[in-house]
Amino acid sequence: MLKKKQCLVLFNSAFIRKISESGNNKRLARLKYLQEWYQKDDGLPVWMKSATDRLLFKITFLGCLCGLTMGLYTVIWELSIRKRFFNDSK
């Protein structure tokens, strides 16, 4: 069974080959233009190109980090309260 990324690569290569064999140079030129625009060597994936995408990513990352920190703090707090006041061995 092929993985999703492998299937996408196979589909894209077959799609490009089909366009180039059909002689439709306008569609092939458009496809090459889109690939040049979205596949630059700047190290960023396509979904991180615009400023709003980067801002949304940073806000999401910060929210997840705060949530994990608060959850860990709550667990530690609850365990320390239980040991301090109830003296059970759980």
What is the span of the domain harbouring residue 58?
Answer: 46-90
Going residue by residue through the chain, which has 90 residues, state the pLDDT in tens, using 9 for 90 and above. Answer: 445 554 455 555 666 565 555 566 787 888 788 777 766 677 767 667 788 888 999 999 999 999 999 999 999 888 887 666 666 555
24 and 63: one domain?
no
Handedness of CA 9, 15, 16, 17 (dihedral sign): positive
Q: Are residue 33 and residue 5 in the same domain, yes or no?
A: yes
In this structure, the answer to whether residues 55 and 88 fall within a common structural domain is: yes
Residues 31 and 52 in one domain: no
Q: Are residues 2 and 30 in the same domain?
A: yes
Domain identity same for 51 and 87 = yes
Domain count, the chain: 2
3-state secondary structure of 74: helix
Distances (CA, A) of 13 to 6, 30, 80: 11, 15, 59
Same domain for 55 and 90, yes or no, is yes
